[in-house]
Amino acid sequence: MSFSSRRRNYHLVPHRKDELIGWMKSMLIHSFVLDALESTAGDTFSHFEQLINEHLHKSKSQDPPDNGSASQVSRLKQIVPTVGTFHTPLPLRKAFEVYNTKYAITKRKHICISFNEIRHILNLAQIMAFVEEGRRMRGLSMSYNEDEVEECMNNDNDDFHGPKLVTFDGDQTLYSDGANFESNSELAHYIYLLLLNGVYVAVVTAAGYEYMTEKYEMRLSGLLSYFKKQKLAEIKDCCNRFYLFGGECNFLLQLGCDYKLHAVKEHGVGGWKSSTRYLPETPSNWPEDDITALLDIVEESLTHSISDLKLRARILRKKRAIGLIPIKLNDQLPREGLDEVVLRIQTTLTSKDNANNINHLPFCAFNGGNDVFIDVGNKRVGVQILQSFCDIKVEETLHIGDQFLKSAGNDRAARDVCPCVWIINPDETTYILKNILRLAGVISHNDEETIQNADIDGDGGCEKKGASGNSSVTIGSNVNNTSMDIDEMARRSSLTEKMIRL
């Protein structure tokens, strides 16, 4: 895990906590202290599952909006007022049982379940939810066992039993902070398989270079090269299903058969702005005066913060964003200072007068690890536009990102409009995709040979470099009788666990 990721996610101070996971952890501590986790943890996760289900149904109901009365507010909302939106039921008990089978959490006497373990279980439950939806659609039982999952994976049905649109954050999700997607053939291979199976894929990133396509292509160079080596363009419509949204929701690009990114037409018939004008928050409904007013307010606040907090930083203003960056590229700005700047901006822009002045334009202020950026628009708008443009339902979408903290995370906005998975590095993204593909029936343990023989390096080879860079491993080498490769997750997360385990 990069240093900047730790700076963003290390849970030292109250504003850097996820209250839902914190509450779940506190509920499990009771049983841990009483040495009763083995007999009660499963039921506790069932209870979480019921509360989330109730919260989901309340928010989907046709009742008038929440008026603060107990009957309108879910029990979960009363317990955790900051809880976000859920879009699918989460089979948390099953996810916990799979995880516990591997890690024996309930056998531990001295170390209670950690924040990251609960995050992993929530992630597993979310991707298992897509399989359950597939089973529900086919009229199968919800109470499947592992054999049934294997059977599900081996069926000859052409349907892809997983999300139909997968959106990815860029930095720290597909590649390390500030780096490019250079050579990560395993992750590239899984994204390629998603496209091959009819899934729409989009990178929804804060990086905003307007329509200077070569700059985005540079960030994704390894991925685009991989597509070219695999001759993705020879398979009908595959390239066209790959999008990139720059500046959160401002600049939409699409992959062409030349393996380059091209600006999608904004206006006129089929234009993405024209066709999504009915969405209240879409950029085509933003008056230019409001955008200028927002950027002016932020610039004033940033200027004051630099002076007030004695930050060795300067301001970078773009067309639809404004940032505070170090004066010298390699200088480190203090994390506390960056968080303070973000919270000042959020307070300033949500104050009644300013919110009215900018007509409640959507915005996103976030700590980028060693800078602060404020974008006009956010990932809620970006994902919603993609859902509309590609005609994909909310519950068929999955967003994968690394910043979900309420105070300073730019992926959190996506939670409003689709199920999300919270990862902390590109290795965890790879693990999540692998399990989505397994559960969706694209790859399985029984298909190990097929995967190994796949030309994942695009040069005729069938092996890839291991994490150490000097050992050769094959995908799916950890075969056991579970549909999820928990061993792999352990390897991928071990360093991170050591650094941010609570």
Chain-centre distance of CA 483, in angstroms?
Answer: 22
Q: Between β-strands 472-473 and 200-204, what pairing exists: parallel, antiparallel or unpaired?
A: unpaired
Q: Which is nearer to Mg ion, 130 or 373 (CB)?
A: 373
Residues 6+ apart with CB under 8 A from 96: 41, 42, 45, 121
Distance CA 172, CA 496 (A): 13
Q: Are 116 and 500 in contact (CB under 8 A)?
A: yes
Q: How far apart are the two ends of the chain, measured CA to CA in Å? A: 16
Smallest gap from Cβ 205 to Mg ion, in A, equals 8
Q: Which is nearer to Mg ion, 10 or 262 (CB)?
A: 10
Q: How far is CA 282 from CA 212, 317, 384, 388, 496, in A?
A: 21, 22, 9, 11, 37
Distance CA 352, CA 339 (A): 22
Q: Which residues are catalytic?
A: 169, 171
CA angle at 277 for the pair 271 and 283, rounded to the nearest 5°: 85
Q: Which helix (H) or strand (E) holds 193?
A: helix 185-196
Distance CA 410, CA 9 (A): 13
Q: Which is nearer to Mg ion, 381 or 439 (CB)?
A: 381
Distance CA 95, CA 101 (A): 10
Query: Of 148, 113, 114, whose CA–CA distance to 131 is shortest?
Result: 148
Distance CA 269, CA 257 (A): 22
Query: What does the block give as tokens for 489?
Result: 């997750």
Q: Which is nearer to Mg ion, 238 or 338 (CB)?
A: 338
Q: Between β-strands 165-168 and 464-465, what pairing exists: parallel, antiparallel or unpaired?
A: unpaired
Distance CA 269, CA 177 (A): 37
Smallest gap from Cβ 365 to Mg ion, in A, equals 14
Residue 420 has phi, psi (to 5 degrees) of -130, 155
Number of Cβ atoms within 10 Å of the Cβ of 198: 13
Smallest gap from Cβ 447 to Mg ion, in A, equals 31
Q: Which is nearer to Mg ion, 18 or 171 (CB)?
A: 171
Q: Which is nearer to Mg ion, 205 or 482 (CB)?
A: 205
In angstroms and rounded to an integer, the radius of gyration of the C-alpha atoms of the chain is 23
Smallest gap from Cβ 264 to Mg ion, in A, equals 23
Smallest gap from Cβ 401 to Mg ion, in A, equals 6
Residues 6+ apart with CB under 8 A from 434: 190, 443, 475, 476, 485, 488
Smallest gap from Cβ 411 to Mg ion, in A, equals 7
Residues in contact with Mg ion by CB under 5 A are 169, 171-172, 402
Residue 72 has phi, psi (to 5 degrees) of -90, -20
